[in-house]
Structure 1
Amino acid sequence: MGVSHARTMRLQERLRDEVRGDVDFSTTARATHSADASIYRHPPLGVVYPVDGADVAAVLALAREFDVALTMRGAGTSIAGQVLGRGLVLDCSRYMSGISEIDPEGHTAWVGPGTVLDELREAAGKHGLTFGPDPSTHSRCTLGGMIGNDSCGSHSVAWGRTADNIEELDVLLADGTRLTVGRTSPEELRRRCAEPGRVGDLYRGLRDLSTANLELLRTGYPRLPRRVSGYALDALLPENGFHLARALVGTEGTCAIVLGARVRLMPAPPVRALVVGGYRSMPAAADAVPDILDVAPLTVEGMGADMVETVLAHAPGGPGPTALDRLPPGRGWLFLEVGGDTASEAEGRAGELATRLEAGTTTGTIVVTDPAEQRKLWSIREAGSGLVTRAPDGTEAWPGWEDAAVPPEQLGRYLEDFQELQRQHNLRGIPYGHFGEGCVHVRLDFDLDTAPGRANFRDFMEAAADLVVSYGGSISGEHGDGQARGELLGRMYPPELVNLFAQFKFLFDPDNLLNPGIGVDPRPLDENVRVSGPARQLPLALPYPHDDGSLAKATRRCVGVGTCVDTSSGVMCPSYMVTGQEEHSTRGRARLLGEMLRGEIITDGWDSTEVREALDLCLSCKGCLSDCPVNVDMATYKSEFLHQHYRRRIRPVTHYSLGALPLWLRLAAPLAPQANGMAQTRWAGNLVKRMAGIAAQRELPTLAETTFLRAFHRRRRAAGPSRATGGSGRAGTTVLLWPDTFTNYLEPRIGAAATEVLEHAGFTVIVPRNPVCCGLTWVTTGQLNVARAVMRHTVRTLAAPLRAGVPVVGLEPSCTSVLRGELPEYLSAASENADVAAWATQLGQQTHTLAGFLNEYAPDAEFGNLDVDAITQVHCHQHATLGFSAEERLMERVGLHNRTLDAGCCGLAGNFGFEDGHYEVSVGAAERRLLPEMRAATPDTAVLADGYSCRTQIEQLGDRRAQHLAEVLRTAIPT
């Protein structure tokens, strides 16, 4: 199905003429859709985002005319490579979503293929219903993708797989025939078979296939709840109602295109309780499962100590030690959920289940009824499922052998044999899974970079398939076969049944137009591996200490699970939440950088305009560093790219204006009144904005007439050495208050407030004699040589207090984050002076937020009870690197009844929201949640935001004045 360049151009023209949706054959689209969450890579010819079924039919007709394959794609989170193709990719997630009908009495709903699962669950929840299957990607996976893979999730032990919950499908065949399929009564089957044309031919062929192979269809499949591999042709048996819709579920887009589905909904128990049982090992936990299945729990999830230890090692991004400490003793655990109509009913069932566990081999049990505590414990499982892709020591782990299933009563023995198989192949992985159905997830540290490593990968995959089959299991129990396991179907099924799969595919798609290479005549499992292959040796400026100094390895942190395309909460990724464009997601940008380093699709390295344009809307908010389960740090990768891209080029004007903001503010400070007067004059202010590349809609900040440092020194000379005014800080403790650029030149009142608070708490406050800077504005604009020079100057200036062990308190979260993170990292290179590197490390270790410092050094400092309602917008960098729990504890201490907003990034993000061309995205990010929260807040509700960007965005767009925590604490000082 190769297509020449001329024919490709003609195909693009025809698609743009005949399709109402988006048609994108750009390098960017090909790169972002070249991979899913698997280990494979297949750059497509182009990507189409159809609007409706008519669009899909038009694309299909042109695909037939041009002899181009079609591959369907939802959220792109498939783990086996089944949404990758070399032809056209049809992405239904952009437009073909929505719920056209919910029947609360009949417990069904009609949904589009691009509908996100959580959207369906939210709509169904209004009627006390839910869609049973709930994979871990529920916040972004689409119903079309779930139907293609026959997805399951943690509740399938009670509510079944996707196939069990599909009533009808609206499908389009490869020749353009559209029909609705579902359960077929004998009378309906006879009528269908009698129809002329394509529909009659199809039903007669399916009827003949089924009736001629009744014994094979009844005996050729393993009997277990999580059999996902192969085509479910046993759905065509008479006793199963000749259910053609369920036979198509799990065919991975190889037989028909799903345009809509009528799904079955389940009553959702209003109250749930969680039981956790501990065991001496994970196999021992698995052995306990068969004895509790008759209690009919909603979930039976299992995991071992290696997952818990991984979560603990990543505690800043995980649930933290509080949740981990709740676990019963042991090395393996079962998480069991039960439901009820009332709290007492759910608690009673949980108690009965705990009693059942305690009669067995458990090392202890706990019953958790509080929903918040349940979420914390479940977060161990959810965080771990992402973290297992990267071990604490940096070792990469990959999908491939991802989700095999065996009968639950065999699971304990299978796990022991599987661990032995890992040892034989020198592989490590962290298994966990849906133990109630015998399904085990694991990612293994395959060496996919070398020929011997790939040979070992193949040997292991074949041996693992044989092991599962020996236990009567399925090589896939949740995520489908795709390229990863399609080649192994012959080891699981007899040749006669594999031949029936090919016949079934031929009846629907005789020309092999739909997703060729998947299912029937599969691609080899060890070809097209994206993490192998060439990597260009491009110069690097940053050390990447957690990725062995390799940007390629850093970008490979992104395994494609798509947390960044979840728009429901969190900080990551603000620009994607506004635009919905894949290249503006963390995943999309990582794909583009990876392709740049590979050099095949993107061939011009650091000169790439595609990478530059995708990174242009990256806010450098660092949300991905914490929200991404494997800590992708796109802000750092962007700094590297900008540094390299503009090394021999004239930079955008904002790099010289906003990038050097600390320098310009220092020069302007002595002339603050005149500068402010000019900025407030319309013509002069507009001229400054045009010259500086600042968006015309923005207001220029007002310079303080006296800087914080000048005011501090003046006050100190007048008052003499500072003394405690009633606090209980550690005796004789001196603290250095960091005079960040924003506090020093723009809002010195915050520095003054912090000084009073620290002195009240019993500390002697000092500041540097001269301005210092963390270098952040140069970092975010990719001026890394200047940033390092600024950082060196800073640590040399602070050498004496650093050597003396003086703690440092930062007020601006972004600067504090740099002092703790980038500065020690950037100055740790071997080329740096040893003293500078040591001081940089000390600065990182000795730097605290104001709340963190007060909680640690002055836990008994006396403050009044404010008794005030408050809402707080957390700065992105604080969310990502510093955490906010210390602030919440301190606010509770002083009587602030605070609600921390889940508003994501404010949208300003340092220089980003001020830059011309970014205003609309900046406002869009703020309008998602932050600005509606500001409008809804009562006038007497205090608004807190420690970040200068956040306060500015709230003031300029939300018409509210936000305060720094230091200002609020000053009001709590007893008079």
Structure 2
Amino acid sequence: MIAMVSEVAVRSGYVAFLDALRACGFEGEIAPDDANRTVLATDNSIYQRLPQAAVFPKHAEDLERLAKLASELPHRDIVLTPRGGGTGTNGQSLTDGIVVDVSRHMNQIIEIDVEARRVRVQAGVVKDQLNAALKPHGLFFAPELSTSNRATIGGMISTDASGQGSCQYGKTRHHVLELDTILLGGQHLHSRPLSAEEEQALAQAGVLGKVHQTAAAIIDQQRELIEATFPPLNRCLTGYDLAHLRDEGQLNLNSLLCGSEGSLGFLSEAVLNVLPIPKHSTLVNVRYPSFMDALRDAKALMTASASPTSIETIDDTVLQLAMEDFVWDSVAEFFPAGSTPIQGINLIEFNDDDPEQLAGRVKAFTQHLSQDATVERLGYTLAEGRPQIQKVYAMRKRSVGLLGNVQGEKRPLPFVEDTAVPPEHLADFITEFRAALDARKLSYGMFGHVDAGVLHVRPALDMKDPAQEALIREISDEVAALTQKYGGLLWGEHGKGVRSEYGPKFFGELYPCLQQVKAAFDPHNQLNPGKIASPSESTTLIAKESDPELLTVDGVPMRGQLDRTIDERAWQAYDAAVYCNGNGACYNYDVDDPMCPSWKATRDRRHSLKAAPA
């Protein structure tokens, strides 16, 4: 259920813009109605912003019309925000302007080149949709997400998404070869690594020249400062990644566009590299008497010469939810009960094309564990083969979902849940993180990627209570400072969005470089404003603590504020709908999943479970 201020009129400037858009030949749908506006007012975050309208482009030509019209003088106060699957946890695609939703029509897999292991796709293609098409060829698109059945490729690129296995497979940007982005004004930017001759040719005039000149000047003049500022993490910084602007000397603007959250242009198509599906897999399931033992084991697990693909962790809270659910019956054999209760687990995956080599690596790894006594372990089991492994991962995925369905009004919320620190500091970092939550008497669940130093921590709050809502600011500030203390990032996996306000403090005197990038692409601050950086052409590098044009974590309307306005009788009558967390599971691509058939038939979000009974 989405609470909405009834019949908020579309502002006159937007009415004029939408009329002009129709007149210039826009072929997709234009939707200023209350139903479309309401269902696109939320995502998987705590925020709610009512857009003026939604538009659903049919093709690149529609994006060109949109970008050209918005750049014209009468419409430079129009705000446009691209949206894919709407699974962001930080309000990245929420706006009080116009939502540009490419998922309805621009969702075609254009080309699969099996020999070159390359694909060309439109921005609205869903990750699982792509992998289903690749599977008959023995290939897959690597970055693994828990939302893979509804996350779009465009959204993954826009947040530089990553997840399980990132230490081996990297982030989305590591698999992006070329991007076709439509800039304000309607020009196409075809980004890829450029030779010196190509770079010189593109740096001549116009907006294409300006964006290339700006990027080249930043990396060539500020390289030392960039290297000193960007932490050497597996989950390196998302959002205008200055550190990788030159790839072996070649200028590559994909470094800026991957993670830009729609603030630089409209992604139309992407060329991606894909990988062979590993033929054989084994999952080592290690049990611990405490969750902190599981975290402290990161060093021993990662120093093993066997080189695991991924190391996933689950805390006692999430584990208990799984044990109380029917899903536990399918995995209980892998987590045998003993005299000491299981309070944490690590799941260590190995993959290999050679079954004998795989067996040897797993044996070496388990021998390594038996010889290491740095933490207490309760034992381990092996899940061998993809069917068994998928059972364990299904348990993990379902238990994380159950975390959002706990009883009572306090719900675990994702607002400080993708911190990244060096893995060797993870246990100490989490000790202080937990102390901050315990001091406020908050419950929470934890799960994540030990090998990448990323842990998803979701404190439980009742956002209808103003006193608990105020904790968003308190906890966010404290955790942001804590990540800096341990040489990490507040935003290690799920992008910046509303949390962009912490960017100036982190970047310091490098922040004006981000503003120069924004100004080159979007001089009038029309594309998803308030996220990542505001535009400024100043070349003076002065340390900044804040940017008044960025959104703030407590300055954007929150769902809880509007939930308070729902009549208690309606609340009780629709309690199942009220607890929708907005993660978009009802928008999933999976044809075998019964949820949600009306969405699958129409691709109209108004026909989804999330929209009812809005």
TM-score by length of 2: 0.89
Task: Describe the superposition over 1:153-210 as per-residue Cα deviations: whole angstroms up to 9, x where unpaired.
Answer: 21212100001111111111122221201112333222222x3332222222222222
2:157 aligned with 1:147, yes or no?
yes
Tell me: CA distance 1:215–1:552, structure 2 relative to 1, closer, same or farther (3 Å): farther
Does the C-alpha gap of structure 1 residues 204 and 6 become closer, same or farther in structure 2, counting only changes over 3 Å?
A: closer
Contact in 2 for aligned 1:275/1:353 (Cα 8 Å): no
**Equivalent residue for 1:407?**
422
Q: Does 1:39 align with 2:61?
A: no
Instruction: Look up the match of 1:323.
Output: 331
| Corresponding position: 1:356 with 2:368 | yes
1:340 is the counterpart of 2:352: yes
Deviations 1:374-433 (A, max 9, x none): 222112210122122232456312111121111111111112121111112332210110
Letter of the 2:334 partner, please give it.
R
CA distance in 1, matches of 2:253, 2:345: 39
Contact 1:117 1:138 in 2 (8 A): yes
Q: Does the C-alpha gap of structure 1 residues 184 and 551 become closer, same or farther in structure 2, counting only changes over 3 Å? A: farther
- Note if contact 1:280-1:332 (Cα within 8 Å) is conserved in structure 2: yes
Deviation at 1:105? 2.7
After superposition, where does 1:275-290 map in structure 2 within 5 Å?
Answer: 275-290=284-299
Q: Distance in 1 between matches of 2:293 and 2:223?
A: 39
Cα pair 1:124 1:130 within 8 Å, conserved: yes
The reply on whether 1:297 has 2:308 as its aligned counterpart is yes
1:229 Cα deviation (Å)?
A: 4.2
Could you say if the C-alpha distance between residues 42 and 326 of structure 1 is closer, same or farther in structure 2, counting changes exceeding 3 Å? same
Which residue matches 1:526?
A: 554
Q: In structure 2, how many angstroms separate the alpha carbons of the residues matched to 1:35 and 1:221? A: 32
User: Counterparts of 1:436-585 in structure 2 under 5 Å?
Assistant: 436-483=451-498, 485-493=499-507, 495-520=508-533, 521-527=549-555, 528-533=557-562, 535-536=564-565, 538=567, 540=569, 550-551=572-573, 554-568=576-590, 569-585=592-608
- Aligned residue for 2:349, secondary structure, equals strand
- Contact conserved, 2:13 with 2:78, CA < 8 A, in 1? no
Gaps of 5+ in 2: 1-7, 534-548
Query: What amino acid does structure 1 have at the position aligned with 2:450?
Result: F
User: Take 1:398 and 1:49, find their aligned partners in 2: how far apart are those partners?
Assistant: 30
User: CA contact under 8 A between 2:46 and 2:413: conserved in structure 1?
Assistant: yes
**Aligned mates of 2:164, 2:10 — CA distance in 1:** 46
Question: 1:310–1:392: 8 Å Cα contact kept in structure 2?
Answer: no
Shift of 1:126: 2.5
State the SS of the aligned residue for 2:560: coil
2:358 aligned counterpart, secondary structure: helix
1:722-770 Cα offsets, whole Å, 9 max, x none, are xxxxxxxxxxxxxxxxxxxxxxxxxxxxxxxxxxxxxxxxxxxxxxxxx
The number of residues matched between the two structures is 577
More off after superposition, 24-33 vs 242-251: 242-251
State the Cα distance separating 1:325 from its structure 2 match.
4.7
Give the deviation of 1:6 after TM superposition: 4.4
Paired with 2:452 and 2:357, the residues of 1 have a C-alpha distance of 25
Could you tell me how far apart the structure 2 residues matched to 1:534 and 1:285 are? Answer: 38
**How far apart, CA to CA, are the structure 1 residues paired with 2:439 and 2:249?**
42
- Correspondence for 1:131: 141
CA distance in 2, matches of 1:107, 1:297: 24
User: Per-residue CA shift, 1:759-802, capped at 9, x if unaligned?
Assistant: xxxxxxxxxxxxxxxxxxxxxxxxxxxxxxxxxxxxxxxxxxxx
Deviation, 1:553, is 5.6
Report the CA distance between 1:561 and its aligned residue: 1.3
Q: Secondary structure at the match of 2:612?
A: helix
TM-score, L = length of structure 1: 0.57
User: Which residue number in structure 1 is paired with residue 215 of structure 2?
Assistant: 206
Q: Is residue 588 from structure 1 mapped to residue 608 from structure 2 by the alignment?
A: no
Question: 1:132 Cα shift?
Answer: 1.1
Amino acid in the other structure paired with 1:453: Q
- Paired amino acid for 1:263: L
Letter in 1 for 2:343: R
What CA distance in whole angstroms lies between the structure 1 residues aligned with 2:100 and 2:285?
A: 43
SS at match of 2:428: helix
1:69 paired to 2:97 = no
Cα offsets for 1:832-858 (capped at 9, x unmatched): xxxxxxxxxxxxxxxxxxxxxxxxxxx
Contact 2:126–2:589, Cα closer than 8 Å, also in 1: no
Aligned partner (choices 169, 178, 186) of residue 168 of structure 1: 178
Rg larger for: 1
CA contact (8 A) 1:278 1:364 kept: yes
Shift of residue 245, structure 1, vs aligned partner: 0.8
What corresponds to 2:388 in structure 1? 373
Change (3 A) 1:149 1:238: closer
State whether residues 79 and 98 of structure 2, in contact with CA within 8 Å, keep that contact through their aligned partners in structure 1.
yes
Q: Which runs of 5+ in 1 are unaligned?
A: 542-548, 593-975
Q: Distance in 2 between matches of 1:30 and 1:234?
A: 38
Residue 427 (structure 1) aligned to one of 431, 434, 442: 442
Q: Does 1:216 align with 2:225?
A: yes
Go from structure 1 to structure 2 and tell me whether the alpha carbon gap of 1:240 and 1:403 turns closer, same or farther (over 3 Å shift). farther
Q: Report the Cα offset of residue 7 of structure 1.
A: 4.1
SS of the residue aligned with 1:550?
Answer: helix
Pairing 1:111–2:118 present: no
Pairwise mapping of residues 739-758 of structure 1 onto structure 2 (< 5 A)? none
Instruction: Give the 3 Å change call, closer, same or farther, for CA 86–393 of structure 1 in structure 2.
Output: closer
Structure with greater helix share of residues: 1
Shift of the 77–232 alpha-carbon distance from structure 1 to 2, 3 Å rule, reads: same
Higher relative contact order (CA 8 A, sep 6+): 2
Alpha-carbon contact 1:565-1:576 (below 8 Å) kept: yes
Contact 1:232 1:247 in 2 (8 A): yes
Q: CA deviation at 1:141?
A: 0.6
Residue 117 (structure 1) shift: 0.4
Q: Choose 404-413 or 564-573, whichever is displaced more.
A: 564-573
Whole-angstrom CA distance in 2 between matches of 1:306 and 1:111 = 39
CA distance, structure 2, for counterparts of residue 396 and residue 537 of structure 1? 18
Letter of the 2:394 partner, please give it.
S
Closer/same/farther in 2, CA of residues 216 and 353 from structure 1, 3 Å limit = same
Name the structure 2 match of 1:965: none
Give the CA deviation at 1:100. 1.5
Letter of the structure 1 residue corresponding to residue 478 of structure 2? A
CA distance in 2, matches of 1:392, 1:184: 54
SS in 1 for 2:299: coil
Aligned to 2:263: 254
Kindly report which structure 2 residues correspond to 1:774-785, keeping only aligned pairs within 5 A, or say none. none
Counterparts of 1:240 and 1:473, CA distance in 2: 27
User: Secondary structure at 1:105's aligned position in 2?
Assistant: coil
